[in-house]
């Protein structure tokens, strides 16, 4: 069943207009629904959250009540049953409103592993409560200090003892742990020297943080440039029920990788939203700001960088739609998903620099929100994956060149 706010939008919009070629005109009601909610949380709200290094709980609760964060959960489990294309528009509009989508996007894609690979019993246990907001599943623990992006070298171990797994190890840069009830954990269940392929022997678990923290799991916050709630995790003989294993033991890395295309597309959409926000701000200021008796936007040094950034955001937007359409059709989209994130991250960063430069000193003033969004969008050059690794993927897997590392 659709949540109350989404229901009237999609009862009207799920006709032919929602099935046409992706574009603004086909998703107008969806966009306006998200915008209407985001208008309740203005720049002053986000400035207050940022200054306090806080978490936007009120914003997250409002999105949850409206049903936007359960966008990808099927209707049979209480979600909205939207496509990745539609879900990407939700995150784009959140970013375009001036909000920080990074505080909420995990709720959309982390549960995808449960949706695709968990048992029916697990789905029925967790998904309806995630959709309703009773539970938050915003966090996924994969990255480790030593392994970095070389996921096969993970050292966190889950050893089975009877009807439980005992977990020991360490994770780093794990987001939203302190504002999540459930954590998706990737750990090694078979030593790497005992598997035929190094990608085997890794398993995925659902960890109930309400029971784990302080009882084998220690969470250490990491203060960072953006107000991104991220942490270091220490597992010391943490015991979890064996029934918390997702899918088959030893196939966890495949399960995690299976969801990365959706993650790439959704975060690319956030970058697109950021890019449009920066361009809107820069364009308005360039038109209104008068120096030497003329608007500064009349000067090519101001106008051209904004125009170039706009063109690149548009290009990233189109690649996002292409990748999302392929994903929704069940077709291979690894190259397109990665390119959408690369183009989106680069375009939003270019737009951020153009916007900051256009505003001059005012761009550094917190009340304008530009310096906050500047810090936030810089993250996507590094996370969820470095843009250099995307280039490496394209070079090797798309263009057929030798592996670069």
Beta bridge partners of 161: 164
Domains within the chain, CATH numbers bracketed: 6-132 (1.10.540.10), 139-249 (2.40.110.10), 257-398 (1.20.140.10)
Please give the backbone phi and psi of residue 225, each rounded to the nearest 5 degrees, phi first: -60, -50
- The predicted-structure confidence for 7-49, as pLDDT tens digits, reads as follows 555 544 444 333 344 466 679 999 999 999 999 999 999 999 9
Q: Report which of 137, 148, 166, 122 is spatially closest to residue 60, judged by C-alpha positions.
A: 137
- What does pTM read for this prediction? 0.91
| Confidence label for 405 from pLDDT (cuts 50, 70 and 90) | confident
With a CB cutoff of 8 Å and minimum separation 6, the contacts of 375 are: 225, 226, 227
Say what percent of the chain tops pLDDT 70: 94
| Cα 384 versus chain centre, distance | 8
Q: What is the mean pLDDT of residues 234-255?
A: 97
- The predicted-structure confidence for 102-142, as pLDDT tens digits, reads as follows 999 988 889 889 999 999 999 999 999 999 999 999 999 99
- The predicted-structure confidence for 377-396, as pLDDT tens digits, reads as follows 999 999 999 999 999 999 99
Measured CA to CA, the distance from residue 319 to residue 322 in angstroms comes to 5
| Confidence label for 259 from pLDDT (cuts 50, 70 and 90) | confident
Instruction: Please give the full DSSP string across 283-337, using - where no structure is assigned.
Output: HHHHHH-EETTEEGGGSHHHHHHHHHHHHHHHHHHHHHHHHHHHHHTT---HHHH
- The predicted-structure confidence for 47-97, as pLDDT tens digits, reads as follows 999 999 999 999 999 999 999 999 999 999 999 999 999 999 999 999 999
Q: What is the mean pLDDT of residues 311-326?
A: 97
Q: Report which of 348, 370, 365 is spatially closest to residue 284, judged by C-alpha positions.
A: 370
The mean predicted confidence, pLDDT, of the chain is 93
Q: First vs last Cα of the chain: how many Å apart?
A: 48
The two structure tokens encoding residue 271 = 């970058």
């Amino acid at each position: 069943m659709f949540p109350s706010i989404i229901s009237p939008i999609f009862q009207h919009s799920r006709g032919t207009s929602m099935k046409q070629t992706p574009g603004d005109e086909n998703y107008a009601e969806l966009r306006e629904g998200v915008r209407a909610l985001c208008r309740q949380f203005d720049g002053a709200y986000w400035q207050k959250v940022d200054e306090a290094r806080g978490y936007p709980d009120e914003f997250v609760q409002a999105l949850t009540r409206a049903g936007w964060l359960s966008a990808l959960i099927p209707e049979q489990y209480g979600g909205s049953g939207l496509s990745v294309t539609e879900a990407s528009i939700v995150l784009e509009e959140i970013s375009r409103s001036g909000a920080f989508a990074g505080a909420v996007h995990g709720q959309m894609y982390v549960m995808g592993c449960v949706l695709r690979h968990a048992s029916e019993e697990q789905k029925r246990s967790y998904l309806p409560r995630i959709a309703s907001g009773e539970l938050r599943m915003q966090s996924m623990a994969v990255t480790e200090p030593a392994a970095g992006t070389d996921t096969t070298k993970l050292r966190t171990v889950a050893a089975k003892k009877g009807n439980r797994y005992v977990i020991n190890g360490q994770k780093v840069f794990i987001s939203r742990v302190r504002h999540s009830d459930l954590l998706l954990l990737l750990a090694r269940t078979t030593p790497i020297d005992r598997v035929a392929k190094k990608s085997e022997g890794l398993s995925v678990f659902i960890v109930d943080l309400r029971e784990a923290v302080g009882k084998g799991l220690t969470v250490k916050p990491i203060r960072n440039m953006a107000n991104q709630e991220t942490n270091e995790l220490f597992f010391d003989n943490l015991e979890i029920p064996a029934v918390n294993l997702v899918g088959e033991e030893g196939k966890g890395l495949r399960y995690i990788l299976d969801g990365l295309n959706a993650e790439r597309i959704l975060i690319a959409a956030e970058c697109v939203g950021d890019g449009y926000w920066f361009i809107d701000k820069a364009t308005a200021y360039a038109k209104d700001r008068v120096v030497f008796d003329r608007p500064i936007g009349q000067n090519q040094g101001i106008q051209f960088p904004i125009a170039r950034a706009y063109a690149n955001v548009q290009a990233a937007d189109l690649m996002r739609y292409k990748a999302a359409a392929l994903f929704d059709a069940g077709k291979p989209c690894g190259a397109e998903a990665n390119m959408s994130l690369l183009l989106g991250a680069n375009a939003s960063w270019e737009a951020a620099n153009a916007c900051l430069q256009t505003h001059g000193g005012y761009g550094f003033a917190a009340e304008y929100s530009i310096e906050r969004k500047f810090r936030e969008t810089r993250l996507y050059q590094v996370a969820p994956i470095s843009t250099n690794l995307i280039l490496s993927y394209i070079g090797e897997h798309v263009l057929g060149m030798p592996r670069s590392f």
